[in-house]
Amino acid sequence: MCGIVGYLGKENALEKIITGLETLEYRGYDSAGVAYVLNNQIKVIKREGRIQNLKEAIPWQDHPTIGIGHTRWATHGEPNEQNAHPHQYGKFTIVHNGIIENYQELKKILEENGYQMKSDTDTEVACALLDFLYQEEQNVLKTLEKARKLLKGSYAFGILCADELETLYAIRNSSPLIIATKGNEKFLASDVPAILEYTNEYYLLDDYDIAVLKKDSLTFYHDLKEITKEKQIFEGSVESSKKEGFPHFMLKEIYEQPKVVKDTIAFYFDGTKDSLYQKLPALDKYETIHIVACGSAYHTGLVARTLIEEIVGLPVTVEIASEYRYKKVFYDEKTLVIVISQSGETADTLASLRKANQDGIDTLAIVNVVGSSIAREAKKVLYIKAGCEIAVATTKAYSAQLALLSLLTLKLALIHHTIEEEEFLEIRNAIAALPEQIESLLDNPQYKKIAQQIYQREDIFYLGRKLDYSISMEGALKLKEISYINSVAYPAGELKHGTISLVEEGTPVIGIVTDSEMRDKTLSNLKETAARGSYIILICNEEEKEGNECLLIPKTHPILQSMLTIVPLQLLAYEIAKARGCDIDKPRNLAKSVTVE
Ligand code: F6R
């Protein structure tokens, strides 16, 4: 979603801000803008569309040393120049990530006091509110403190005040914001990658913390009292946010999967049962598990449900977070709520976590981004080792989540004595072979060839049963996200209850057949579509006669199979999107981290 970058130092703030915003382009946006101080005035430049449009509008002879910038993903009002950030009202100029839920109410009060908004945004209302409160307080800190008590919703603000042109202010609630330092240079940003080019040292703001950035000082306040914050060091590399010769981040990240799966597993499991007992949380007391997540993370939950129910025999409920947060939930002290999130900032997942926490239920988060809100608020957190994921369509984080969920399943199976020693050893050997097996799936000219056959179709179906169905959900999501083809996954037996009416001559149907017990059933469902003219692409462990095309993948223990099955589906989606000329790393309308509900 929206990105924020602010700079204060000796160098050209415009260059730093634009570089930072470009690093955050992957988050998805539809307009961009900057505000900076020049000749004792705050100058604002904004443009609809890509950062390139903004760059063309910036007078590069200006050399400000303080400023704020923003990429906006429209929520309130169209993505046009008027609605783009920064917004300015009276003495204040602000950039904002998040949503002010009570902005209509506040707007009414402000309008009664003579304020008139020029845009459709909640952000301009927040900006006007600051100006309104400041008239009485005449102090930015006190104004922010008062404002935060009036603002409902989520926000991360970067703020300039006309009365303090050498100071940057920042405040957050439920939307990420970091402050980074490099000598006397200071940055504020919504995400760590924005500052990695310059420094890896940063501070994480907590809800309602206020940061005051000045030339010679950096001060943090909470409830108007000065506080100290612990410096964080980002341990990944700047390279992780570069393409390194790959045409797209998505492809690079698909190719990183052997490593991230290996790293994630190696962090928690050294081949011994002891390591699982020591590195993964105690799970003995739980009689039921709720897995809550959104999008692809939800799909990993579907895989985990099948694994845990089949291998361990524990009942698992998998819920989409935007539903779970509002529905009646049945849980107790023997329930473990597992939330899964790459970004650790997804608004609905965070709200579901808070709900479970408030109800006193044990919570465990599986997260990629270290120090993110979900990671900090869960009672226990397990990090996947995927590194920085840039492409909007998740691939390596999805696989790393599967790897961690497989280990949790293995530990549960040991606790519940549902696997014998022999099977444990079999899984251990299979884990050792897994990275190489994933690697073996990366380079295959068949993906391009199949893409050429089907890229012009407007409907593609994915069929599978049980585990194969869970993976097909992710395959279909990957394809629709980046190629805009209407791709839908169905449990193989379900298509004939309605949707098969859409199958016509040449409709591609991707059938996933890795579950030997389900093989015959799924194949006969595929034949039903073939009888209506479908073009079948099979993903299977051994040659089958039924398909027009067959992508063979290695066999492994079912607990690991999904990490192999997903690779051809990701690469097919990639090649199809490429053949259609789509902007693969920045698909339309999508954002990397969904911080609003
Ligand atoms: C799909 C995708 C999204 C995310 C979803 C949850 O490629 O990336 O469906 O999986 O928005 O995001 P996180 O995992 O950050 O909570």
* Residues annotated as part of the active site: 2, 592
pLDDT band at 506 (very low <50, low <70, confident <90, very high): very high
Q: Output the pLDDT for position 245.
A: 85
Q: Could you tell me the distance, in angstroms and rounded to a whole number, from the CA of residue 341 to the centre of ligand 1?
A: 7
User: Tens digits of per-residue pLDDT, 346-404?
Assistant: 999 999 999 999 999 999 999 999 888 999 999 999 999 999 898 999 999 999 999 99
Q: Could you tell me the distance, in angstroms and rounded to a whole number, from the CA of residue 296 to the centre of ligand 1?
A: 5
Tell me the two tokens of residue 377.
């608020």
Mean pLDDT of 399-424: 98
Sheet containing 549-552: which strands, arranged edge to edge? 486-491, 459-464, 508-513, 535-540, 549-552
Q: Could you tell me the distance, in angstroms and rounded to a whole number, from the CA of residue 371 to the centre of ligand 1?
A: 18
Atom nearest to 392 CA in ligand 1: 8
To test the ligand 1 pocket, which listed residue (254, 342, 374, 586) has its Cβ within 8 A of the most ligand atoms? 342
Q: Give the whole-angstrom CA distance, residue 292 versus residue 301.
A: 7
Q: Could you tell me the distance, in angstroms and rounded to a whole number, from the CA of residue 271 to the centre of ligand 1?
A: 30
Q: Which residues pair with 160 in a beta bridge?
A: 93
Helix (H) or strand (E) holding 26: none
Q: Could you tell me the distance, in angstroms and rounded to a whole number, from the CA of residue 133 to the centre of ligand 1?
A: 38
Q: Atom 3, ligand 1: which residue's CA is nearest?
A: 295
Q: Output the pLDDT for position 23.
A: 87
User: Tens digits of per-residue pLDDT, 33-50?
Assistant: 999 999 999 999 999 999
Domains along the chain?
3-240 (3.60.20.10), 243-440 (3.40.50.10490), 442-583 (3.40.50.10490)
User: Tens digits of per-residue pLDDT, 300-319?
Assistant: 999 999 999 999 999 999 99
Q: Output the pLDDT for position 330.
A: 97
pTM to 2 decimals?
A: 0.84
pLDDT at 235 over 90: no
Q: Output the pLDDT for position 590.
A: 84
The answer to whether the CB of 28 is under 6 A from ligand 1 is no
pLDDT band at 216 (very low <50, low <70, confident <90, very high): very high
Q: Give the whole-angstrom CA distance, residue 180 versus residue 234.
A: 11
The answer to whether the CB of 295 is under 6 A from ligand 1 is yes
Mean pLDDT of 519-548: 93
Mean pLDDT of 464-472: 97
How do 508-513 and 535-540 pair as beta strands? Answer: parallel
Q: Atom 4, ligand 1: which residue's CA is nearest?
A: 295
Q: Atom 11, ligand 1: which residue's CA is nearest?
A: 295
The answer to whether the CB of 191 is under 6 A from ligand 1 is no
The answer to whether the CB of 93 is under 6 A from ligand 1 is no
The answer to whether the CB of 593 is under 6 A from ligand 1 is yes
To test the ligand 1 pocket, which listed residue (26, 294, 482) has its Cβ within 8 A of the most ligand atoms? 294
Q: Could you tell me the distance, in angstroms and rounded to a whole number, from the CA of residue 176 to the centre of ligand 1?
A: 16
User: Tens digits of per-residue pLDDT, 243-258?
Assistant: 778 999 999 999 999 9
Q: Give the whole-angstrom CA distance, residue 6 versus residue 17.
A: 6
The answer to whether the CB of 296 is under 6 A from ligand 1 is yes
pLDDT at 239 over 70: no
To test the ligand 1 pocket, which listed residue (473, 480, 569, 594) has its Cβ within 8 A of the most ligand atoms? 594
Contact 596, 347 (CB under 8 A): yes
Q: Could you tell me the distance, in angstroms and rounded to a whole number, from the CA of residue 295 to the centre of ligand 1?
A: 5
* Rama region for 39: left / alpha / beta (φ>0; ψ in -120 to 50; rest): left
Q: Calculate the average pLDDT of the chain.
A: 95
To test the ligand 1 pocket, which listed residue (250, 291, 296) has its Cβ within 8 A of the most ligand atoms? 296
Q: Could you tell me the distance, in angstroms and rounded to a whole number, from the CA of residue 423 to the centre of ligand 1?
A: 33
Residue 328's CB is within 10 A of a number of other CB atoms, namely 4
The answer to whether the CB of 481 is under 6 A from ligand 1 is yes
Residue 395's CB is within 10 A of a number of other CB atoms, namely 30
The answer to whether the CB of 596 is under 6 A from ligand 1 is no
Q: Output the pLDDT for position 240.
A: 64
Mean pLDDT of 422-439: 97
Q: Atom 7, ligand 1: which residue's CA is nearest?
A: 393
Mean pLDDT of 177-205: 92
**Residue 205, Cα to own-chain centre: how many angstroms?**
19
Contact 119, 78 (CB under 8 A): no
pLDDT band at 241 (very low <50, low <70, confident <90, very high): low
Q: Give the whole-angstrom CA distance, residue 191 versus residue 189.
A: 5
Q: Could you tell me the distance, in angstroms and rounded to a whole number, from the CA of residue 27 to the centre of ligand 1?
A: 11
Q: Could you tell me the distance, in angstroms and rounded to a whole number, from the CA of residue 392 to the centre of ligand 1?
A: 8
The answer to whether the CB of 368 is under 6 A from ligand 1 is no
Q: Output the pLDDT for position 243.
A: 79
Residue in 131, 125, 116, 70 with CA at minimum distance from that of residue 96: 70
User: Tens digits of per-residue pLDDT, 539-576?
Assistant: 999 888 888 999 999 999 999 999 999 999 999 999 99
The answer to whether the CB of 479 is under 6 A from ligand 1 is no
Q: Atom 16, ligand 1: which residue's CA is nearest?
A: 341
Q: Give the whole-angstrom CA distance, residue 559 versus residue 562.
A: 8
Tell me the two tokens of residue 28.
């998805």
Contact 114, 92 (CB under 8 A): no
Atom nearest to 349 CA in ligand 1: 16
Helix (H) or strand (E) holding 380: strand 380-383
The answer to whether the CB of 349 is under 6 A from ligand 1 is yes
The answer to whether the CB of 253 is under 6 A from ligand 1 is no
